[in-house]
Amino acid sequence: MAKKTVRDVSDLAGRRVFVRVDFNVPVENGAITCDTRIRAAVPTLQYLVKAGAQTVLASHLGRPKKGPTPEFSLKPVAARLSELLGQPVPIASDCIGADVAARAAALKNGDVLLLENVRFHPEEEKNDPGFAAQLVKDSGATLFVNDAFGTAHRAHASTEGVSHHVKTSVAGFLMEKELRYLGMALEAPERPFVAVLGGAKVSDKIQVIESLLPRVDALLIGGGMAYTFFRAQGLGIGKSLVEQDKVELAKALLEKADGKIHLPVDHIVASAFKADAETKTLPVTEIPADWMGLDIGPRTAAEFAGRGAAAKIVLWNGPMGVFEMKPFAQGTLAMARALADSQGTSIVGGGDSVAAVTQMGLADQIDHVSTGGGASLEFLAGDPLPGVACLQEA
C-alpha cells in the first residue's frame, strides 16, 4: 500500500499546502497534558518549512456539538506548535472565511498557519463537498498532504473531501510510517509473527482476529475478551465480563485457529471491580462464582512476554487487564517490557497499550507506537481507509 509522500513533490517552494494533521490532544483548563500527537507531526512540518512551502494546517479537537466553544479551540495547540517549530504559528479565527483567506494569502515561504477546529462546522463530519471545496479555496492550496493517520478511517471533508479539489494528494511522514509498520502485519511478515490482542470485548476485535489468523504464528488473547473464549470452552468465569452473544463466534474462531490462539493459563481474580478489592491468583480453570477476572496471571504474563520478545514481528493492541487500576496492571506492563526487549520489530497500537509503554518510559524502545486507535484496528482488519485511499499511489 505504498503511497506518494511529500518527499515526492519537487516544487514546494512558494506552494500553498493544505496539511491535515491530528492535533486532537488532551487539554485541561487550557493546558495540553500530552503533546505526543503534535510532536508526531513535526518532521513533516519541518520538511515543508525548510522547503519554503506556505503551510496551512487543519485539525479537529474533541467532539464539539454546539459550534465554536473555547474548550475546543486549537489555540493551545498553536502555542505549543510554535515552541516545537521554533517559529510563530498563528491561528485563524475559523477554518473557512475571510480571515482564513486573508491570512493564507499573506503567508511567506516557510510560514505556517493553523486553522481553527474544523469540527466547529457540522459539514466537516458529513464530508460535505461544498465545505471541502471552501477549505481548499480559502486556504489557496494546490497540494493536499494527509499526515493524520488517526482520522484516516473517517471520510470527512478535511481528511478525504479536500482531495477532490486539488491536483495532488500525498502522505506526510507520519502517515508513511504508520502505513509501513502496520503494513508489515498484513503483507509479508517475518517469522515468527506474534500478535497480542487485549481489551474488553471480542466484538471490537472480530475483524482484526479474522484478518490476522491466517498471517500469524501465534495470536495471544488477554483482557476481558478472553472470558468470552473461556465460556466457549465451557469454563466457569464467575462474574467476569462476557459477551454471551459472541460465545458461538469465539468457539468458531478457536476451531478455525487450529491451535494458533493462545489464552491465559492463570488470572488475577477479584471480589469486586475496584482497586482495593480482595484478590487471588488462580488457574483459569478456577474462579469463585461471585468473583471476576481482572488481569492475566504471572504464568501467563511470562509466557506471553516470552513469545513476544522472541518474535521477529510482534504486534500489540489492547491491555491485558483493567490497566487503570494498579493491582490489575501487571499483565499489561509485562507486555510493555517484552516489546521493549524484543529483538524483532515491535509495533504498539491502542490507547491503553500506548499509555503503558509511555508510562514506563519505554516508548522510544518500541519500533513503532501508532497514533491511530480506530484507524489502526480498521487497517489491521483489512478495511480500506478513506483518508489513505484518496492519496496517490507510489
Task: Enumerate the domain spans of the chain.
Answer: 6-173, 180-380
In terms of residues, how long is the chain? 394
What are the cell numbers at 318? Answer: 489492547
Is 387 noted as a catalytic residue in this protein?
no
Q: What is the mean pLDDT of residues 171-198?
A: 92
Percent of the chain at pLDDT above 70?
Answer: 100
CATH 3.40.50.1260 fits 6-173, yes or no: yes
- Is the link from the previous residue into 88 a cis peptide, with omega within 30 of 0? no
Question: Does 311 score more than 90 pLDDT?
Answer: yes
pLDDT bracket for residue 354 (50, 70, 90): confident
Q: What is the mean pLDDT of residues 300-314?
A: 94
Is 374 noted as a catalytic residue in this protein?
yes
H-type helices in 292-392, by residue range?
298-310, 330-341, 351-359, 374-380, 386-389
Backbone angles phi, psi at 52, to 5 degrees: 85, 20
Which of 97, 130, 236, 351 is catalytic? The answer is: 351
* Confidence (pLDDT) at 350: 73
Q: What is the mean pLDDT of residues 61-66?
A: 92
Whether the CB-CB separation of 82 and 57 falls below 8 Å is answered with no
What are the cell numbers at 191? Answer: 517469522
Percent of the chain at pLDDT above 90?
Answer: 87
* Confidence (pLDDT) at 1: 65
Name the nearest CA neighbour of 77 among 64, 93, 59, 65: 59
Question: Does 187 score more than 90 pLDDT?
Answer: no
Q: What is the mean pLDDT of residues 96-108?
A: 98
pLDDT bracket for residue 101 (50, 70, 90): very high
Q: What is the mean pLDDT of residues 314-321?
A: 94
**pLDDT tens per residue, range 374-387:** 888 889 888 899 99
- State the Cα–Cα distance between residues 224 and 229, nearest whole angstrom: 10
Buried-exposed string 82-94: b where 16+ CB fall within 10 A, e elsewhere: beebeeebebbeb
Which of 110, 183, 373, 374 is catalytic? The answer is: 374
Which of 7, 137, 201, 299 is catalytic? The answer is: 201
* Confidence (pLDDT) at 352: 80
- What's the Cα-to-Cα distance from 237 to each of 232, 319, 328, 346, rounded to whole Å? 11, 19, 17, 32
Q: Domain 180-380: which topology?
A: Rossmann fold (3.40.50)
Most confident range, picked from 25-29, 30-34, 133-137, 342-346: 133-137
Q: Who contacts 29 (Cβ-Cβ below 8 Å, separation ≥6)? A: none
Whether the CB-CB separation of 248 and 232 falls below 8 Å is answered with yes
Backbone angles phi, psi at 228, to 5 degrees: -70, -35
Mean pLDDT across the chain, nearest whole number?
95
What are the cell numbers at 34? Answer: 500530552
Domains 6-173 and 180-380 fall in the same CATH topology: yes
Is 274 noted as a catalytic residue in this protein?
no
pLDDT greater at residue 361 or residue 115:
115
pLDDT bracket for residue 358 (50, 70, 90): confident
Which of 37, 154, 246, 260 is catalytic? The answer is: 37
**pLDDT tens per residue, range 108-155:** 999 999 999 999 999 999 999 999 999 999 999 999 999 999 999 999
**pLDDT tens per residue, range 239-289:** 999 999 999 999 999 999 999 999 999 999 999 999 999 999 999 999 999
Say whether 9 sits in a helix, a strand or coil.
coil
**Which residues partner with 316 through β-bridges?**
196, 348
